[in-house]
Amino acid sequence: MAVSYRFDENGNERPPETRSVTWVNEYVKSLVEEEVQLQDFYLSGEISNFKSHSSGHLYFTLKDENSEIKAVMFRTYASRIRFAPKNGMKVLVHARVGVYEKAGAYQLYVDSMQPDGIGSLYLAYEQLKAKLAKEGLFDEEHKKPLPKIPKSIGIITSPTGAAVRDIIKVCKRRYPFVKLVLFPSAVQGESAPQELTRAVEYLTATDYVDLIIIGRGGGSIEDLWAFNDEGLARAIYNSHIPIISAVGHEIDFTICDFVADVRAATPSHAAELATPDMTELSFAINTFVGRSYKAIKNTLDMHKRRLLELEKSKIMKNPLLLFDAKKMQLLTIVENLSLAMSNKNKDLRARLSKVGAELNALSPLSVLARGYGAVYNEGGKIIKRVTDVNVGENISVKMSDGSISATVNTIEGEVK
């Protein structure tokens, strides 16, 4: 392509004006950002290519039947979303169009997002409910029984709301001996989830109470949203102290209700579940005392009858009869023992005689009595072989009735 040159006022040629890539991108950006309609609008579309970056930023594409456009939602805005975006979800976003000069690409910068056709809070509630149910936080096997007669009850709620007044009123009416410990907390607003969670963790860690009631009065889903917090749900699940959830009215349900050990329809109902009724308790105690008294009386009457029967018996009239019977038993035992000892001695004597005869048969004296003798040298050592003596050596021969001294004259056999 031929380059056309321009001329100045003096007729001199000058090269054509050139632009940089950066200049073009910056110029396009300025055009886009100066267009009011592109800087503040709502857009409906379907999410695809969704990516949640480790930085907290969200990157995705919004598309309809014919087109698509890239979008980004920075962490500051993404942290405010109450639900989990995912591919295929239809959403309504508030955005502006911007140009990323470095790549020469335009995209949406989103600052708010909600499901298209369903409330974002409701969707977030359902998503968290499904997640925690899958993890087993709602399972009945993890539910702890409530103490029948609690010594102290922790109350986590607003100190100025009607809920705390209702709980205190019912508890004191039903069981005035219970100790009530109020842990004040916000029950709605941005700080409420953290305050409620901290209260549960504190009461659990200190073991200051043996039952906890957490709740508030009724309201909209926005008012009750603090009780749908995941951190609070996990704190309730991890508590070893039984917890009653009393959030809203009977028709209101929160995540807190599902994970707690017991769900009460109202704060007043929670107080009724937490405390025994004094009238019923008094009746039960009186019934127990009456049954115990009757059982003790029946036992005493039974023993009294037995004593009367013993009093009328022959033994009680003549106690010596008891000693006579025992004396006869003792004499019989002595006779049997004496007989057993006599038989044992006879058996032992017979065995001893037999063993003595066997030992006598093996005695060297018995051998000598049969005509044998034992030969000893001058040192008194027995001579067993001819090699143990020498010719001319003096020896002695022990017989059964004495001994003989002799001198060796000759040796026959194997000689040294």
Co-location of 49 and 158 in the same domain = no
pLDDT band of 325, cuts 50, 70, 90: confident
Domain that holds residue 108: 21-118
Asked whether residue 46 is assigned to any structural domain, the reply reads: yes
pLDDT digits (tens, 9 = 90+) for 357-383: 777 766 666 666 666 778 888 888 888
Co-location of 269 and 205 in the same domain = yes
Integer Cα distance of 340 and 337 in angstroms: 5
Co-location of 109 and 170 in the same domain = no
pLDDT at 391 exceeding the cut of 70: yes
Co-location of 158 and 272 in the same domain = yes
Count: domains in the chain: 3
pLDDT digits (tens, 9 = 90+) for 38-73: 888 888 889 999 999 999 999 999 998 899 999 999
Asked whether residue 376 is assigned to any structural domain, the reply reads: yes
Domain termination site, one of 259, 276, 293: 276
Burial of 210 (0-12, 13-18, 19+ CB in 10 A): middle
Domain termination site, one of 103, 118, 133: 118
Q: Identify the bridge partners of residue 13 per DSSP, sorted by sequence position.
A: 7
Share of the chain above pLDDT 70, in %: 89
Buried-state track 288-323, b at ≥16 Cβ within 10 A, e below 16: eeeeeeeeeeeeeeeeeeeeeeeeeeeeeeeeeeee
Tell me what pLDDT residue 78 has.
92
Tell me what pLDDT residue 42 has.
86
CB hemisphere CA count around 239 (13 angstroms): 35
pLDDT at 16 exceeding the cut of 70: no
Tell me what pLDDT residue 60 has.
95
Asked whether residue 308 is assigned to any structural domain, the reply reads: no
Domain termination site, one of 245, 261, 276: 276
Contacts with 160 (C-beta within 8 Å, 6 or more apart), sequence order: none
Tell me what pLDDT residue 370 has.
67
**Average pLDDT for 312-321:** 70
Tell me what pLDDT residue 257 has.
94
Burial of 208 (0-12, 13-18, 19+ CB in 10 A): middle
pLDDT band of 394, cuts 50, 70, 90: confident
Q: Which residue has the higher pLDDT, 182 or 82?
A: 182
Asked whether residue 89 is assigned to any structural domain, the reply reads: yes
* In 102-191, beta strands by DSSP E: 105-115, 152-157, 179-184
Phi, psi of 93 (to 5 degrees): -120, 155
Burial of 76 (0-12, 13-18, 19+ CB in 10 A): exposed
pTM reported for the whole predicted model: 0.52
